[in-house]
Amino acid sequence: MRGMTTRRTVLGAIGAAGWGALGALFRPTSLFAQAKIPTIAVLYAGESEDDEPVVRPFFEQLARSGWIEGKNIAYDRHSGKGTRQYLATMASIAAGRAPNLIYATTASLAAAVLKEAAALPMVFTTTIDPVGAGLVNSLAKPGRNATGVLQVTGDAAPRRFELVRQALPQLKRMGSIYDRGAREYQSRKAAHEKAASIVGIELVTAEFTNFEAIARILANFKRAGLTAAEVTPSFALIGRRREVANLAALNGVALVAHRYEWAEAGALLTYGVDVAESHRRAARIADRILKGAKASDIPVERVQKFELVVNNRAASTLGLQIPKPVLQRADRVIA
């Protein structure tokens, strides 16, 4: 009797375990889906360790909206390494991991995503016209599975050259570097030459196709007696900005640029759209998409807030002294 009771108990336990296993096997897939938290694939132009601090406002804004990394949101970070030829591969790899959303931090990255993974919703930030770049049908009605933030540069270049004149009053000539692979580089070149001439600065332009030419360009600037140069929008340059800044310092050339990341990498002065605000706005758009909105229905937002950043540390290294009025006018000073 006692043995039978034991046997029934064992059989009952085996039966319960068996049905439990079968129940798990045939459990509705929606329960498994609930266990997986949403993922955003974040695409960087350069190395992750360099770009992560720049994009931090995006993560912070999403956290303020209730998306806590590791708890109810995951981020899959990808590095472009400043190599344009790697973009398609990176976009394909990111898409292959089936994220809920892709965040492309430059127009080049966004274009690669649309080519390799148009079915996935995407949020982007860009300094060039997203309609002209083929990212959206219009700013008001993107129409495609993408939307984001347009950093309106407007009259930033004329103002930037005015600030260069004030920061370096003795400057008469300076270099200007253009990436032939960048959209709108020809029109930008003409606009910059005109803006610089208005404040009495002659631009000595240099163009490149391969990044390897940058070392030669900066060495040529040094031989020509140029002590300053501007870097213009370029996926290759922004992705490898620390390397460019180091090369410039070796040649005694002070860099001027359009994004504050350059100042943090070693440029003397930057003036352009507030990048942090762009990332915060992009995060708000991402929040809406994660909550069910369609990227194609969300208008592209425009950011027109500008900031001046001065790198006093770079000035000291180059033996320059930035006038106090410029320092006082700066939104940020790197000491």
DSSP of 209-225, one letter per residue? Answer: SSTTHHHHHHHHHHHTT
Is residue 253 within 8 Å of 221, Cβ to Cβ?
A: yes
Say whether both 191 and 245 belong to one domain.
yes
Does residue 138 sit within a domain?
A: yes
Say whether both 195 and 324 belong to one domain.
yes
Say whether both 86 and 210 belong to one domain.
no
pLDDT more than 70, % of the chain? 90
């995951």: which residue's tokens? Answer: 74
Q: Please give the tally of structural domains in the chain.
A: 2
pLDDT for 35: 53
- Spatial separation of the C-alpha atoms in residues 97 and 133, rounded to whole Å: 26
- Checking if the pLDDT of 19 tops 60, the result is no
Tens of pLDDT, residues 135-188: 999 999 999 899 999 998 877 999 999 999 999 999 999 999 999 998 889 999
Say whether both 176 and 285 belong to one domain.
no
Is residue 124 within 8 Å of 104, Cβ to Cβ?
A: yes
Does residue 324 sit within a domain?
A: yes
Say whether both 102 and 219 belong to one domain.
no
- Spatial separation of the C-alpha atoms in residues 86 and 109, rounded to whole Å: 10
Mean pLDDT of 89-115: 95
Say whether both 61 and 139 belong to one domain.
yes
- Our CA angle for 99, 105, 106, nearest 5°, is 125
Say whether both 88 and 72 belong to one domain.
yes
Say whether both 232 and 122 belong to one domain.
no
Q: What's the CATH code of the domain at 52?
A: 3.40.50.2300
Does residue 19 sit within a domain?
A: no
pTM to 2 decimal places: 0.83
Q: Return mean pLDDT, the chain.
A: 89
Tens of pLDDT, residues 177-231: 999 998 889 999 999 999 999 999 999 999 999 999 999 999 999 999 999 999 9
**In which domain, by residue range, is 136 found?**
36-153+274-305
DSSP of 222-258, one letter per residue? Answer: HHTT--EEEE-S-HHHHHTHHHHHHHHHHTT-EEEES
Does residue 104 sit within a domain?
A: yes
What is the helix (H) or strand (E) element at residue 126, kind and residue range?
strand 122-126
